[in-house]
Amino acid sequence: MTIHTQQFDNSLFNGSVSVNTNLFIDGEFVDPLERHDIEVTDPTTGRVITTIAAGGKKDIDRAIEAARTTWGKNVSGTQRSHLLFKLGELMEKHSDELAALETLDSGKHYIHVKTADPAQTISDLKYYAGWADKLGGKTIETDPTKFVYTIHEPIGVVGVITPWNFPLLLACRKLGPALATGNCVVLKPSEVAPLGTLKLAELIQEAGFPPGVVNIVPGLGSVAGQALAEHPDVGTIAFTGSTLTGRKIMQSSGNSNLKRITLELGGKTPNIIFDDADIEQAVKWTDIGLFFHAGQMCTAGTRIYIQEGVYDKVMEQLVAAAKASANPGTGFDLTPQLDPVVSQTQLDRLLGYISSGKDQGAKIAVGGGRLGKEGYFIEPTLFTDVKPDMKIVKEEIFGPVGVVIKFKIEEEVLRAANDSAYGLSACIYTKDVDRAARFVSALETRSVRVNITSIAFSQVSSGGYKQSGFGKDLGEYALEDYTSVKAVTINHGQKL
């Protein structure tokens, strides 16, 4: 058994935190059947923090076998509710440690993690704890000799595959509804940022979940992730990540058992600022919406449309805000610094996009380069003079890089905003209620925010459209993705 302990000595987090870096299968931490380790790196320094055990196909097989033998229809909603709520309370008790681990391997500043990620995650789990004993079907009117009703049943084994940008938060957004509805879970977290999720396994064990209900198997996507997506005993795959990987998961479903899939994929959020907007607030929300966590968010407002009457004023303030935040540091500095991107691979990818923008004739208003010699930092970057067919306009960049486009009239910006393969989110800034209502209706996205950037609430479902995927996270609607509806007809009068 491998335990990694990290010692801290600063005013943000004092003491140490330990995490078991083995696989979590059938209620225990175990070695992989074929030993293979993966290095975990601190993005702020580029240095290796620790190594974790990587699961392979055989480990996925035994995790699924453990999940098939437990939970299901034999545990009441009241019991499921109690366990989910207890897990939320344990996360609250250990929130400092969870935040420290998330900071270490994702690079996000500790203050931001501590004030947002664990709190939101705990809220999500407790929200679904409240749903676990309130699930019900319907009675349906047919004819007087029949009694017809529906039952919402768990699917069985749910495979969950999560990314590295908000590791713990996104894992629990799948675990909450999956467990509340009576399923068992095999979770494959990103191998790039797995430490917080492995700590979660310890809390799941402490909360008293029966063995096999939740199994956590870090590993390479091409190995463990593919094995999970192809396995014939998995009833559904819940995935958050790239559109490319989402397509591969759909193919795996078609080639195996036609398992159900929910996909929360890429985005290219239009961020539209009208002449009548509260400019100061619009700039602040836009800056957060693009540069928070170094832009590593599927809902990042990377396409910024500014109406011509306020273009110069907004641009001046956006550039100033970007320059002010170009200050790299560690995740435990006393004041929040610019976050790094997560890895050398991601850094190289982003620099490639910046080079593409330059080569295709776009102009850099601010940023455009790497920051410092240590860690994976990129300057907050804004491009102007862009054309609709440029790579930086069309593709999801997933970093602190945005494009700025001037527009004149509503029809023009609406066409541009909808001219995208993605449809995850949109933000508009205006004081005109009628205009806001028109755009809410006309924008081809599944979430629209007015006078605020993309934020989440446990009670409010979000999901994709077009190549941003399908299915739901959060809210009551997400429960539908983890249940099957059975129709029952009882004949109590008709005779032949």
Residue 326: DSSP 8-state: -
Distance of CA 147 to the CA centre of its chain: 42
Would you state the pLDDT for residue 1?
A: 55
Q: What CA–CA distance (Å, rounded) separates 27 from 63?
A: 10
> What is the distance between the alpha carbons of residues 183 and 201, in angstroms, rounded to a whole number?
17
In a domain, 312, yes or no: yes
Task: Mention every residue, 6+ apart, whose C-beta is less than 8 A from residue 473.
Answer: 173, 174, 240, 264, 461, 462, 463
* CA distance readout (Å), 420 to 389, 426, 446, 465: 10, 12, 14, 11
Instruction: Looking at the structure, tell me whether residues 103 and 208 fall in a common domain.
Output: yes
Q: Do residues 231 and 111 both lie within one domain? A: yes
Q: Is residue 396 part of a domain?
A: yes
Residue 290 falls inside a structural domain: yes
Examine the domain organization and report whether 41 and 104 are in the same domain: yes
Cα 13 to Cα 482: distance, rounded to the nearest angstrom: 38
- State the total domains in the chain: 2
Q: Contact, 228 vs 237, CB < 8 A?
A: yes
Q: Which one of the listed residues 102, 264, 379, 396 is annotated catalytic?
A: 264
CA angle 66, 68, 73 (to 5 degrees): 125
What is the number of other CB atoms lying within 10 angstroms of the CB of residue 359?
Answer: 10
Q: What is the pLDDT of residue 71?
A: 72
427 catalytic, yes or no? no
Same domain, 216 and 328: no
Do 49 and 146 share a structural domain? yes
Query: CA-CA distance, 352 to 43, in Å (whole number)?
Result: 19
Structure tokens, 317: 């303030």
Instruction: State the virtual CA torsion across 52, 231, 26, 53 in degrees, nearest 10.
Output: -10
Q: 97, 102, 172, 298: which one is catalytic?
A: 298
CATH number reported for the structural domain that contains residue 200 in this entry: 3.40.605.10
Assess whether 436 and 473 both reside in one domain: no
Do the domain assignments include residue 328?
yes
Both 450 and 476 in one domain: the answer is no
Long-range contacts made by residues 88-95, C-beta under 8 angstroms, separation at least 24? Answer: 88/122, 88/125, 88/126, 88/129, 90/203, 90/206, 90/207, 91/118, 91/121, 91/122, 91/125, 91/200, 91/203, 92/118, 92/122, 94/199, 94/203, 95/119, 95/122
Give the pTM: 0.95
Q: Which two tokens stand for residue 156?
A: 């069985």
Q: Looking at residue 118, what is its pLDDT?
A: 80
Nearest to 19 by CA among 168, 169, 131: 168
Q: What is the pLDDT of residue 410?
A: 97
494 and 145 in contact (C-beta within 8 Å)? Answer: yes
Active site residue 379: no
The verdict on residue 492 lying in a domain is no
28 Cβ contact list (under 8 Å, min separation 6): 211
Smallest CA-to-CA distance from 65 within 226, 228, 197 is with: 228
Does 376 lie in the same domain as 432?
yes
The torsion angles phi and psi of 228, rounded to 5 degrees, stand at -65, -45
Q: What is the pLDDT along the chain (496 residues), one digit of tens a residue?
A: 578 777 766 667 777 899 999 999 999 999 999 989 999 999 999 999 999 999 999 999 999 999 997 776 688 999 999 999 999 999 999 999 999 999 999 999 888 888 878 889 999 999 999 999 999 999 999 999 999 999 999 999 999 999 999 999 999 999 999 999 999 999 999 999 999 999 999 999 999 999 999 999 999 999 999 999 999 999 999 999 999 999 999 999 999 999 999 999 999 999 999 999 999 999 999 999 999 999 999 999 999 999 999 999 999 999 999 999 888 888 888 777 789 999 999 999 999 999 999 999 999 999 999 998 889 999 999 999 999 999 999 999 999 999 999 999 999 999 999 999 999 999 999 999 999 999 999 999 999 999 999 889 999 999 999 999 999 999 999 999 999 999 999 999 899 9
Q: Which of 15, 26, 73, 49 is nearest to 484 (CA)?
A: 73
Q: Which residues contact 143 (CB under 8 A, 6 or more apart)?
A: 494
Give the C-alpha distances (Å, rounded to integers) separating 384 from 5, 327, 328, 413.
46, 23, 24, 16
Residues 295 and 321 in one domain: yes
Q: Has residue 145 been placed in a domain?
A: yes
Q: Do 411 and 279 sit in the same domain of this protein?
A: yes
Residues 238 and 282 both lie in one domain: no
- The range of the structural domain enclosing residue 166 comes to 3-265+469-485
Same domain, 169 and 295: no
116 domain-assigned: yes
* Residue 463 belongs to a domain: no
Could you tell me the two tokens for 257?
């058992």
pLDDT score at 334: 77
Beta strands in 1-156 (DSSP E): 3-9, 14-20, 23-25, 28-30, 37-42, 47-53, 139-140, 146-154
Which CATH number is 327's domain given? 3.40.309.10
Quick one: pLDDT at residue 10? 65
